[in-house]
Structure formats: C-alpha cells, structure tokens
Chains A and B, each alone.
Chain A
Amino acid sequence: MNTENSLQATTAVRPQLPDTRTVTLRVNGTTHQLQLAPWTSVLDALREHLQLTGTKKGCDHGQCGACTVLLDGKRINSCLTLAVMQENKEITTVEGLAKEGELHPVQQAFIDHDAFQCGYCTPGQICSVIGMVNEGKAKTLDDIRDLMSGNICRCGAYINIVKVAQEALEKNTGL
C-alpha cells in the first residue's frame, strides 16, 4: 500500500501527508475508535485494525464477494468502501452473527447442507444470504442465483449454497 515511493510521489503535489484520523466504527454492536489513514478500506479496518479476520480478502476489487459484510442490514463489498465514509453505520460481520453461543440459522445451514469445501468464500456467502433475505427481493430460484452471483465460490459449492439460500428464504432467517 503506502510504500516509500508512493509517499514521495504525492509529497511533490501536496506537501502535507495526510494524517491518520480518529474514525468511529460500529461493528457487531460495539463502538470502536480507530486511528486510520483515509485510504483504509472497511475490509482492512476490520482485518488489520480490529483483528476481525472472518471477513476475507479475495480480490480487493469488488469481483469476488469474499469481503461481503452487512451495512445497516444490506450487503456491500467492504473492500470498495473507505472506513472514513462509514462512520455511524451498523456494520455486521460473520463474527457478529452467532447469538449466545448459538450459530445463526444460516451459519448452521451451511454446515447442514455441506455448502463449502475450503471455506474461504463462506463468511461472505453467509452474510450475502442474510443480506438477500433482509433485502426481500428474491422470490424464485432464478432470483436466488442472480442475487447471489456476486459471491464467487472457487470450490464450486454452488448447488448446496443455493439450497441454504432457499431454506433461508423459506424460514425468513435474516438479521
């Protein structure tokens, strides 16, 4: 990210290097005050500054969905948004889903349906299924396939992921 070189390159145009600033993030019901540079993505804030490494970095370019989290209940790619832009929003990651030691029904459904192999895409898939239920636009199997297409699974566990999504819709297991 900020190597010696790129720091020097911008110094020429803009004498003052941007300082870190205090950023207040609400994550899984807890408020955190972090010292962050403005270019820190929500994903990097979660992983590098809050040690919440359940949210994965696949591509860092909005293409894979591994970094999917819920922002005020809706799905977003945490790699393509800056932490400084998401103050005062409720961020929910995979770590925030289990309640009182009980897995969220969608987490449990991933196990019951054997809907993963390596598991790398799974936290993003779980958040995405929950977001899909919350958003309330999926009705048919085709809708599920379309509205879950932002989550790539390199192991190809799609068939069982779709089963999880179907069950979540039927049981209305959102956030």
Chain B
Amino acid sequence: MRPFTFTQAQDVDTAVQEVSLEGAKFVAGGTNLLDLMKIDVMSPSHLVDITQIALETIEETEAGGIRLGALAKNADTAYHELVETRYPLLSHAILAGATAQLRNMATDGGNLLQRTRCYYFYDTQTPCNKREPGSGCSAIQGYNRDLAILGTSEHCIATHPSDMCVALAALEATVHVTGKNGERAIPFADFHRLPGDTPHLDSNLQPDEIITSIELPAKGFAKHYTYLKLRDRASYAFALVSVAAALELEGDTIKEARIVLGGVAHKPWRVPEAEALLQGQKATRDNFRKVAEAYLQGAQGFGHNDFKIELAKRAIVRALEQATNR
C-alpha cells in the first residue's frame, strides 16, 4: 500500500472539510477501499476515518419508515428487528452478500460506494476506462462473463456488485448526504450512474459529500418478497444475476409490483413501465414471463455473458413465483 496521511473526524462538518484535501478519501469499514489500495487501483494520499462519527443508529422516522445511519454495519442492519420484520427483503439481500466477517465490518454507506468487480478494473496491467479514463475497455473484447448486459456503453460494461443496493432500489430508498453546500436527499434511482462516457464515475455523490443516512419509506413489502441471487457457488460469491422482487397482492391479483435486477448493469436495474404491466393482473407464470421479456428488452451480451439474458428472464419469473407463494 502506498503511504498516506490519516486523520479521524469526530463530526460530519470536519469530515467534509478534511475530505476536500487533494487526494483525500473517506474510509469506513475499509473492506473495499483498503482492498483496492493494496493493489494500487485506488491510491488516496489522505484517509479520513469517519467511523468515530455517531452515524450508526437505526431508527423509525416520522414518516413511518426507518433511517439507517451510514455507519451502521451491514450485519447489524440485516439483523436489526425493524429491518427483519418490516423490510425482510433488505435483510435477505444483505445476508446474501459477502461473509459474516466482512458484514461485521462493512458499513451501509460503504456498501453503496463499493466499486465494480470487473477483473480488468483490478488488473493495473490492462487498460480500463473506469480506473484510467481514456485508456480503453479491456472487457468488451475480453473475458466478460460476469459483466453487464443492460445500460452499457462503448466505454464500459461493468456491473455494480452490491446485493444490498438491489433491495434498496426496490424499496425506493432515499440517500441523505452532506457536503460543503449543505444537505441534500438523493432518490435511490438517481444515486448510481450508467457508464456513458464517464465510466470513472460510479455515482452522483460529489467528492466533498458524505452519506449520512439511508431512509426507507413506510412500505416494506414484508408479506410477498424474494431476494434471489444466482451465482457460481451457494455462498460467498458475487451475483451473476440477482432479483429483488416485492409484490402487493389482493387475493391473486397484483396491486403493485417492484422488480429490480442486480449483476446486470452499472446500477440496480429497474424498469417501472415493465413493472406496471403487472398492475391489476393475476399472479401467473405467463404474466411473469411477459414482464421478464419486457425487462430484458434491449439487453446486449458481449459473448461470454450472453447467457445472462435468458438467465435474468428466468430469474425474474422464479423470483416473482417465490414472492407470490411466500
């Protein structure tokens, strides 16, 4: 690891000031940043430890939802009573990711900002537009089995690897942030970006901004939900395709459906117009398949990952069936 200077911020304002230093970065759980620093993919010259700031509380909001402090640990979030009972989709998604050890360290804010697992991004010997803008993308012509099939650009086909974020997108969370210009709230759908011609930017968070909390609205879909994660091993592997599915049912008629895909794009992939096809419809396999087709419209494989298109469709159908029967 390259040498760096280090400070501990005790409050949000100090953290925001200190991160404005040239080459500075926040560190929370460290499970992604330190990993990337060890192999020189990221090399901040100053780290601001934010773990002393009191931002780990999980509490109910006046609006009837809950607020997850940005420094709440992934494990503490997944096992929190409010989350387990009212937002079990989120709990399941978090527990589908990483390992017990990692979840004990990883924070909710850090989870949102974890970087892609594209092999070329990790390999500093190869060109990668995300790591080194303008150098080219090694994955498009290279080995791309794990990479994206939706929302790609000619500059980058990376995926966002988080499981937690797929559930947060389905639950329509809001990300609260504070920067030099004060506070703002970012709807989850606008938090992460598509690669376009700026693949080095993963999210719309500004460099001086700190995530303070993640807010969930009252509606938790605690009755009919599923987080389905398809991967190469039964545990401890990133998703090839994942689906967060949540349904509100009246008998076997669907009042509302939420479907978000993970492992297929640069951000959690949600298509509200396709979800709407299920509104007022019966919860049947045929209807689920129609939605699945609509979700994958425009999907493009790059050779090794072509299989993901059909896999994603089947995963949507299975997730919706599981959610119905739960």
Q: Are B3 and A17 in contact (CB under 8 A)?
A: yes
The answer to whether A14 touches B46 (Cβ under 8 A) is yes
The number of residue pairs between A and B whose CB atoms lie closer than 8 Å in the complex comes to: 107
Contact segment of B26-34, B125-133, B158-166, B278-286 = B26-34
> Are the C-beta atoms of A150 and B6 separated by less than 8 Å?
no
Q: Is A132 an interface residue (CB 8 A)?
A: yes
From B4, B27, B49, B99, A149 is in contact (CB under 8 Å) with B99
> How far is it, in angstroms, between the C-alpha of A146 and the C-alpha of B100 when the chains are bound?
9
B104, A39: Cβ atoms closer than 8 Å: no
Contact (A38, B4) CB under 8 Å given A14-B46, A80-B34, A149-B236 = yes
Q: Per-position contact with A for B59-100: 1 when CB-CB < 8 Å, else 0?
A: 000000000000000010001000000000000000000111
Cβ A150 vs Cβ B236 within 8 A = yes
Sorting the interface of chain A by its residue count into under 10, 10 to 19, 20 to 34 or 35 or more gives 35 or more
Q: Scoring B residues 100 to 137 as 1 if CB is less than 8 Å from chain A, else 0, what string do you get?
A: 11101100000000000000000000000000000000
Q: How far is the CA of A131 from the CA of B37 in the complex (A)?
A: 28
The answer to whether the Cβ of B45 comes within 8 Å of any Cβ in the partner chain is yes
- Let me know if A75 and B46 touch, CB within 8 A: no
Within 8 A of B (CB), among A1-29: 1-2, 6-7, 9-10, 13-14, 16-18
Cβ contact within 8 Å between B79 and A80: no
B235–A76 CB distance below 8 A? no
What's the dominant secondary structure at chain A's contact region? mixed
Could you tell me if B34 and A81 are in contact, using CB atoms closer than 8 angstroms?
Answer: yes
| Residues on B with beta carbons closer than 8 Å to the beta carbon of A81 | 29-30, 34, 105
A81 CA to B8 CA, complexed, in Å: 14
B6 contact set on A, CB distance < 8 A: 18, 38, 82, 84
B23 at the interface (CB under 8 A from A): yes
In the complex with contacts A61-B38, A81-B30, A131-B100, A38-B105 CB distance below 8 A: no
**A131 neighbours in B (Cβ, 8 Å):** 100-101, 104
Contact A13 B3 (CB under 8 A): no
Inter-subunit contact A65/B2 (CB<8 Å) = no
Whether B101 lies near A77 (C-beta < 8 A) is yes
* Contact of A82 with B100 in the complex, beta carbons under 8 Å: no
Say which residue of A14, A84, A135, A150 sits within 8 Å of B49 (CB atoms). A84
Given contacts A10-B45, A14-B5, A37-B3, contact A85 B101 (CB under 8 A): no
CB of B226 closer than 8 Å to a CB of A: no
Q: Are B4 and A128 in contact (CB-based, < 8 A)?
A: no
Task: State whether B101 touches A10 (Cβ < 8 A).
Answer: no
The interface size bin for chain B is: 20 to 34
A41 interface hit (Cβ, 8 Å): yes
* A145 contacts B235, C-beta separation under 8 Å: yes
B54 within 8 A of A: no
Whether the Cβ atoms of A132 and B30 lie closer than 8 Å is no
B221-249 vs A, CB cutoff 8 Å, 1 = contact: the mask equals 00000000000001110000000000000
B236/A80 in contact, CB under 8 A: no
Cα distance, A11 to B223, chains bound together (Å): 57
Taking a contact as CB atoms under 8 Å apart, the answer to whether A75 and B104 are in contact is yes
CA distance A13 to B2 in the complex (A): 12
Report how far A17 CA is from B2 CA in the complex, Å: 11
Do B45 and A150 touch across chains, with their CB atoms under 8 A apart?
no
Q: How distant is the Cα of A135 from the Cα of B79 in the complex, in angstroms? A: 10
Closest chain B CB from A129 CB (angstroms) = 11
B34 touches A38 (CB 8 A): no
Take A61-B38, A146-B235, A149-B236 as given contacts and tell me if A76 and B105 are in contact as well, using a CB distance cutoff of 8 Å. yes
Chain A residues with CB under 8 Å of B8's CB are 85
- Would you call A147 an interface residue if the criterion is a C-beta within 8 Å of the partner chain's C-beta atoms? yes
Within 8 A of B (CB), among A112-154: 128, 131-132, 135, 137, 145-150
B250 an interface residue at 8 Å Cβ cutoff?
no
B residues lining the A interface (CB < 8 Å): 1-6, 8, 22-23, 27, 29-31, 34-35, 37-38, 45-47, 49, 51, 75, 79, 98-102, 104-105, 234-236
